[in-house]
Amino acid sequence: MSALPASVTDPAALRALPAAALPELAGRIREFLVDKVCRAGGHLGPNLGVVELTIALHRVFGSPRDVLLFDTGHQAYVHKILTGRGDDFDTLRRTGGLSGYPARAESEHDVIENSHASTALSYADGLAKAFALRGQVDRRVVAVVGDGAMTGGMCWEALNNIAAAPDRPVIVVLNDNGRSYSPTVGGFADHLAELRRDGHQTGQNLFTGLGMAYVGPIDGHDIAVLERALGQAAALGLPVVVHVVTVKGKGYEPAEQDETDCLHAAGVVDPATGKPAAAGGPSWTSVFADEIVAIGAKRDDVVCLTAAMLHPVGLGPFARRFPDRVFDVGIAEQHAVTSATGLAMGGLHPVVAIYSTFLSRALDQLLMDVALHRLPVTFVLDRAGITGPDGPSHHGMWDASVLPVVPGLRLAAPRDPTRLRDLLREAIATHDGPTVIRYPKATAGHDIAAVARIGNCDLLRETPAAEVLIVAVGPLAGACLAAADDLTAHGVAAGVIDPRWIAPVDPELVKLAARHRLVLTVEDTTATGALGARLAQELAAAGAATCAATFALPARFLAHGPREDILRAHGLDAVGIATTVLKRLALIHHPKEVRP
């Protein structure tokens, strides 16, 4: 693999290249992306599709004076290369290395740090207003928006405002590849297909109907044509949509032939075949995928919803088995949740499968539509806790701290595959309110047997007269058991219990905890609002003398890196848990001698 041309170190160098050199440059960038992303994992298909488009953008517009916004940020790898970060791609998504999304700390060319879709047009609207108010009329705002992101409601809320202000020009580059993650769904996708087929013959479309100018459709892989269209759009001085047609995964056959997601978000893969490296065992997602099919076979009232993430959340097998009982609503999480409410009102049991980090976009709907009506909707939160290489916007650190405030909601965290199956069935058997199951993006590991059931909790290790009780939340149970072994070597007896349902707090867990000197709750969420904090409140209300502590993640955005490394860095491994217990015991036994 040859290196990228030394001349491409910044946009100014790119603009100085002769047009005849650009096709070769595009080919070299594609080779570079395949080599680097296949080694590190990341968003390959989206970036292969925007090579020529990104080159044209940086030749027509003068970043950072002109603001380039990428929605979603996963299509910004080429932008990173063209703004001098090609040498950093060996560190892509590694601890301390290059982020897989725009990152303001990396470059002045990265204005927003986004990986949640459908936001860039709202940023663009605000920036254009700010430039107008400050008299910076020479600064142009360009938002690159995928067709999948346009299925999200925020895009249309933003367009409603952008179109109403002809004196504040915003250039919307609609990257139309027919897919977001999977093929784009809904009436808007049909409209774009019509525009691709018939061109702009009628002179009217959704965008012109809003009062915006429209340029397109444009071949997104012809740099000369792109430069002319973008220059034309900039010269109009009006809000304008430039409709660019691209091929996701362009130039890399395994991606172009992958009908599932065009290698959208790949792990480490073989560059020659595009096939993933051998996995270390079944993932949490695959366990859910198998179990929801088994449940669906027995209960024809179970239906599933997702927001443009059919395959990533494991609903592909269910969709193949029961195609009429799966609804992909596009990148529209709010609509997904309230639509699920309507399905429940109609006598069905909806299962909303979604990434943990994306559920935060629909908290109002969960609270005021589902919970207020006490309806049986089950939420399955993939990528909960520490996600890993995707970084702060994807870590599912907030759901387990925020969701317990929802009245009537029950929240579960399975420790192993068998518990995921059991808890999913229990959730779907619930008829009087919402239920939530959360698990990480990781290998599910082996089953961990319980020695007894106390209330709804599983006692994993019982130690007579133990002064310490470790409350192990979800997949951290294995580390908690290993920590208990370590504590035994230090002469400290510690019991371990898995609450299974972490909200509301089980009264039997409170009673058991009250019989111990120290209770340490270990969980992969932020401490505020976590189970440990709520358990401490219950113990205080009961007048227990127990010292209750929460061992969780800090309430700040955590950088990207391998999941295990991030957990270890914050003490959420066996050594860290045991060390924390010993320090807490020292404080209890010798409060005047040991400083916190």
CB atoms within 10 A of CB 446: 11
The answer to whether 386 and 524 are in contact (CB under 8 A) is yes
The answer to whether 521 and 581 are in contact (CB under 8 A) is no
b/e map 2-30, b = 16+ CB within 10 Å:
eebbeebbebeebeebeeeebeebbebbb
The single-letter code of the amino acid at 459 is L
Domain limits, CATH 3.40.50.920, in the chain: 452-589
3-state class (DSSP) for residue 428: helix
CB atoms within 10 A of CB 35: 14
**How far is CA 494 from each of CA 306, 324, 377, 472, 586, rounded to the nearest angstrom?**
41, 50, 37, 12, 15
The answer to the question of whether 266 is labelled as a binding residue is: no
The answer to the question of whether 117 is labelled as a binding residue is: yes
Beta-bridged to residue 531, according to DSSP, are none
**What pLDDT score does 543 carry?**
93
Q: Does the model's pTM come out above 0.85?
A: yes
Q: Which two tokens stand for residue 25?
A: 């440059």
User: How far is it, in rounded angstroms, from Cα 87 to Cα 297?
Assistant: 51
The answer to the question of whether 115 is labelled as a binding residue is: yes
**What pLDDT score does 99 carry?**
85
**What pLDDT score does 85 carry?**
87
E runs forming strands in 337-477: 349-355, 378-382, 410-412, 435-438, 452-454, 457-461, 468-472
Taking every pair of Cα atoms in the chain, the longest distance, rounded to a whole number of angstroms, is 82
Collect all residues with Cβ–Cβ distance below 8 Å to 499 and sequence separation of at least 6: 413, 456, 457, 471, 473, 505, 506, 509, 531
**What pLDDT score does 1 carry?**
38
User: How far is it, in rounded angstroms, from Cα 500 to Cα 454?
Assistant: 11
Q: Omega before 407 cis (within 30°)?
A: no
CATH architecture of 452-589: 3-Layer(aba) Sandwich (3.40)
User: How far is it, in rounded angstroms, from Cα 576 to Cα 560?
Assistant: 20
The single-letter code of the amino acid at 172 is V
- Domain 284-438 is in which class? alpha beta
The closest of 269, 271, 265, 302 to 285, measured between CA atoms, is 265
**What pLDDT score does 594 carry?**
46
Domain limits, CATH 3.40.50.970, in the chain: 11-256, 284-438
User: How far is it, in rounded angstroms, from Cα 326 to Cα 570?
Assistant: 39
b/e map 100-137, b = 16+ CB within 10 Å:
bbbbeebbebbbbbbbbbbbbbbbbbebbbebeeeeee
3-state class (DSSP) for residue 178: coil
The answer to the question of whether 148 is labelled as a binding residue is: yes
CA 563 from centroid of its chain's CA atoms: 14
The answer to the question of whether 205 is labelled as a binding residue is: no
User: How far is it, in rounded angstroms, from Cα 593 to Cα 596?
Assistant: 10
E runs forming strands in 92-168: 141-146
The answer to the question of whether 408 is labelled as a binding residue is: no
Active site residues: 248, 333, 361
3-state class (DSSP) for residue 324: helix
User: How far is it, in rounded angstroms, from Cα 162 to Cα 212?
Assistant: 8
The answer to the question of whether 373 is labelled as a binding residue is: no
**End-to-end Cα distance, the chain:** 53
The answer to the question of whether 333 is labelled as a binding residue is: yes
Query: What is the CATH T-level fold of the domain 11-256, as seen in this structure?
Result: Rossmann fold (3.40.50)
The answer to the question of whether 161 is labelled as a binding residue is: no
pLDDT tens string, the chain, 596 residues long: the values are 346 776 677 888 899 899 999 999 999 999 888 888 887 787 888 889 999 999 999 999 999 999 999 987 888 899 999 998 888 888 888 888 888 888 888 899 989 886 678 889 999 999 999 999 999 989 999 999 987 788 888 888 999 999 988 888 999 999 988 755 456 667 787 888 888 887 665 568 888 888 899 998 999 999 999 999 999 999 999 999 999 999 888 867 677 666 655 455 556 666 666 666 656 689 999 999 999 999 999 999 999 999 988 999 999 999 999 999 999 998 899 999 999 999 999 999 999 999 999 999 999 999 999 999 999 999 999 999 998 888 788 888 899 999 999 999 999 999 999 999 999 999 999 999 999 999 999 999 999 999 999 999 999 998 887 899 999 999 999 999 999 999 999 999 999 999 999 999 999 999 999 999 999 999 999 988 899 999 999 999 999 989 999 999 998 888 888 899 999 999 999 999 999 999 988 887 776 554 44
The closest of 505, 553, 504 to 525, measured between CA atoms, is 553
